[in-house]
Structure 1
């Protein structure tokens, strides 16, 4: 599953607490990929520190943006 942190929160990763999940997705990804069955991430989702991201939505937005740019340049 893909997640992002709530605005203004940096959530430590489960097995690397010095690396954080932020509100900004990594380049080319819809969010940070984390295991579905992790109790740590499920707790963070339930607490509201993390939000679930739809893996399909960012690609659709990117395509629409490119079409808009192509129309403006024409």
Structure 2
């Protein structure tokens, strides 16, 4: 699955904790229990899908 870190986060890789997944570049990963937990916590998001933001999107009602 293609994932990236949520905006502003760096997530350690399961295979090498010195390397991190960032929000810059999507990474293709096998969905292990570790990465599934990270997705459930909101640390990782599917690449191509917008991350949930704290502020609602502005709408123009003109």
Fold in common (TM above 0.5): yes
2:30 pairs with 1:35: yes
* Structure whose alpha-carbon radius of gyration is higher: 1
TM-score (structure 1 length as normaliser): 0.62
- How many angstroms does 1:15 deviate by? 1.0
- Name whichever structure is richer in helix by fraction: 1
Q: Provide the aligned length of Structure 1 versus Structure 2.
A: 48
Secondary structure of the residue aligned to 1:17 is: coil
Secondary structure of the residue aligned to 1:3 is: strand
Q: For 2:36 and 2:46, how far apart are their aligned partners in 1? A: 10
Counterpart in the other structure of 1:22: 22
Among 33, 44, 51, the alignment partner of 2:45 is: 51
- Name whichever structure is richer in strand by fraction: 1
Q: What's the C-alpha RMSD, in Å, of the aligned pairs? A: 0.9
